[in-house]
Every structure is written in C-alpha cells, then in structure tokens.
Structure 1
Amino acid sequence: MSVAQLPTDDSGPEPKRPKMYPHSVLSFSKEDRIGTIQPHDDALVITLQIGGYNVKKVMLGDGSGAEIMYPDLYKGLKLRPEDLKPYSSPLMSFDGKIVMPKGQIRLLVQTGPEIMEVDFIVVDTYSPYTAIVARPWLHTLGVVASTLYQKVKFPSEGRVLKIQGCQATARECLVAAISHRPRADSSACVEESS
C-alpha cells in the first residue's frame, strides 16, 4: 500500500480553521458531594451575573420553560416600565395563582467567560428568589445541573466549568416561601369526643 503526497501550494497562508475542542464530558462523581450536606432535597440556588451585577438567590428551574424575574431584582437593576417589551401570556405562581406578567426584558447573563442574552419575563408577585433560570438558558449554555450534588457544570473553551449551589440560601428561601403562604382554613373538621 502506498501513500501519495499531495502537491502543496505555496501561494499564501493556510486558511484559519475554527478552534476545535475535545468533547467535554459533563458528569458528577462522589467528589462533587464534598461540601454539601447529605442527604437533602434542597433546590439548586446559585449566584449569576445578570445585567452586570452579581445576583444571589437565582433558582435553577430545569422544569420551567421560561426565565422569570421578580420585583426585588427588577427594582435592584433600576429597570423602568418603559424598559419592558409587552408579554401577555399568563403564568402560574408558586402559590397556584394566575399572574399576568408586567412584560419581558432581554439582559446579558455572564457565566464564567460565557456571555449570553436572556429574555426574562417580569412578574410582580412575591417570591423568595430574585430570578429563575430555566431550560432556554440551560440548553443554550449546554448546562448539566444536579440538585443532588448542588452544582451546575457546562463546557467552555475545552474545559468544564462549574457553579456551586448554596444550600443555606436554598433553605432560607424555602422558609421564606412557607412563612409567606396565607393560612388556609382546614377543610376537615375535627370534633372532640366527650
């Protein structure tokens, strides 16, 4: 078997090829549990850079199809009603009530070296979280998240980067959500026997 060498053309530099990175494997191991309280059933709550600010209490909602922003973040970013684009589809809040959004806004979200535009639906309802990032953000960034390991991992420039969740914040948010719930009258009546 012989191999023939192709003639070379010395007429100029070789065209640039896009950088190719080896396929990153996004997985979790026992080492990823280090620093977490086990066992637990905590939500995955992280800090993200949104609109140029480090924003705490961002819940990762991998079951949700929309990124949501709540009043504390809206006010903290000094956004105004005129900054919003119309958005008229109703949403359901944590307490099961229908909420009409105030509008939608596109903001830059930076995750490590990755910067992307994210459309947030702004709602004026109570939440212990400042925002929820969901499937659109997860899929665009290539994120794999684990509530068990309290981590988010994503590929970036041939490396696997991670964001650590904060269990203490997740638990604070849970307590705040439970404390905020209006008390419902019991539908079951218990009679005392005499």
Structure 2
Amino acid sequence: MTTGSSKKARKTYLRMVQNIQLTGSMPKIAWKECLIIGFSKEDARRLHHPHNDALVISIRVGDYNVHHVFGGTRVFPLGAVTLSVTVGDYPQQITKDVTFLVVVCSSAYNAILRRPTLNSWKVATSTYHLIIKFPTNYGVGELRGDQMAARKCYIAILEMEDHQQTMCIEE
C-alpha cells in the first residue's frame, strides 16, 4: 500500500493503524492460504557467528542476475524505471514488476529494495539468519543473503572517497 504524499493520505494511513490496534481486527483481505514462515538453526548454517552483516542478496532483474542488493545513502533520483524482478528458486519463486529509482552516487550496491516492495511480497526477514522468506503458490520461498558479499560491500563503502555509509532516497 502506498501512503501518498498528501497530508490527508498520511492521516488516513495513520488512522488505519490506530483502528487495527484499538479493535484488534484488520479489514478483510483475500488470502490464498495462510503459510507459516519461520526460521530455524538450519537457516543459520554456513554463516560466521556472531555477525552484524547487512542482508545483501542477489535477484533476477529481467534477464540479468543482479548482485549486491541492499539499502541505505541520501540521494536524489534522476527518474524511475519499472523492471520485472524474480526472487527465489523455481517453483517457490515470485516475479513482480518493481519500480526502481535511478540515481547517480557512489555505492557498493547495485540496487535497493525498499520496504514497500518487500511488504508487497509479504516477506519475513531475519538478519541473524541472513535470509528473506516469502509466501508463494508452491509454499515458502527463500532468498539467502551472501555474507561474503556483505563484507566486501562494507569494505568497499569504507574505502570510498566520500565515505557515505547510508542511503535514503528522497522522492
């Protein structure tokens, strides 16, 4: 759901949340099936612990595999482009059109997935397990983070001349 940029749209969005908290009920939403998405010790396999690594993933955008996807530096967009994105492995995958903002900045990351996109996919994330899970028509899909890529991105950010370490896109 997009909240809109008008004052009225923001107030309506806030009232929806307040109503759910007061009444304990949500507006009726059509659910295909209620899947339980959880995390286990097995999900944390092959990770160095303890860690504070970013959740850096690879996704399929159109016909290309895009690595070093994350979020984080304040920049101003030049424009936007909508591309088809596929996450997960067949058959537990989803393909959706995602609008990316086009920016010019120094970054170790190639793309940023924002909360509205992740929320539309109904994802559950675990930074401890470095994994994203999401419902599909064929059960729970998953997208594993790449701990080595996360550390390489972190080092690359530290070595950048401008030393920007967070990225918030202003629309």
Q: What is the TM-score when the length of structure 1 is the normalising length?
A: 0.62
Mapped to 2, the partners of 1:166 and 1:48 lie a distance apart of 12
1:28 aligned residue: 39
Secondary structure at 2:128 match in 1: coil
2:127 aligned residue: 147
User: Aligned residue pairs: how many?
Assistant: 129
Aligned CA distance change for structure 1 residues 182 and 116 (closer, same or farther; 3 Å): closer
Mapped to 2, the partners of 1:182 and 1:124 lie a distance apart of 13
Aligned CA distance change for structure 1 residues 132 and 147 (closer, same or farther; 3 Å): same
What is the CA distance between 1:21 and its match in structure 2? 5.2
The code of the aligned residue for 2:52 comes to D
Mapped to 1, the partners of 2:53 and 2:32 lie a distance apart of 34
Mapped to 1, the partners of 2:55 and 2:116 lie a distance apart of 17
Q: Within the alignment, does 1:53 sit opposite 2:60 as a pair?
A: no
Q: What is the TM-score when the length of structure 2 is the normalising length?
A: 0.70
- The CA deviation string for residues 90-143 of structure 1, in whole angstroms up to 9 with x for no partner, is xx53xxxxx332111111111133111111111001100001102111111111
Mapped to 1, the partners of 2:152 and 2:122 lie a distance apart of 28
Q: Within the alignment, does 1:179 sit opposite 2:159 as a pair?
A: yes
1:104 aligned residue: 80
Mapped to 1, the partners of 2:138 and 2:62 lie a distance apart of 26
Aligned CA distance change for structure 1 residues 32 and 111 (closer, same or farther; 3 Å): same
The code of the aligned residue for 1:37 comes to H
The percentage of counterpart residues that share the same residue type is 37
Within 5 A, what are the aligned runs for 1:157-176? 157-176=137-156
Secondary structure at 2:112 match in 1: strand
2:16 aligned residue: none
Aligned CA distance change for structure 1 residues 124 and 182 (closer, same or farther; 3 Å): closer
What is the CA distance between 1:158 and its match in structure 2? 4.3
- Would the aligned equivalents of 1:46 and 1:164 in 2 still touch at CA under 8 Å? yes
- The CA deviation string for residues 43-66 of structure 1, in whole angstroms up to 9 with x for no partner, is 00000001221111111x4xx7xx
Determine which structure has the larger helix proportion and give its number: 2
Mapped to 2, the partners of 1:182 and 1:106 lie a distance apart of 29
2:55 to 44, 60, 66: 44
Mapped to 1, the partners of 2:158 and 2:104 lie a distance apart of 19
Mapped to 2, the partners of 1:153 and 1:127 lie a distance apart of 26
Q: CA RMSD in A?
A: 1.8
The code of the aligned residue for 1:103 comes to G
Structure 1 runs (4+) greater than 3 angstroms displaced: none
- Structure 1: where are the runs of 5+ without partners? 1-19, 65-91, 94-98, 184-194
The code of the aligned residue for 1:180 comes to M
- Structure 2: where are the runs of 5+ without partners? 1-30, 164-171
Mapped to 1, the partners of 2:76 and 2:134 lie a distance apart of 33
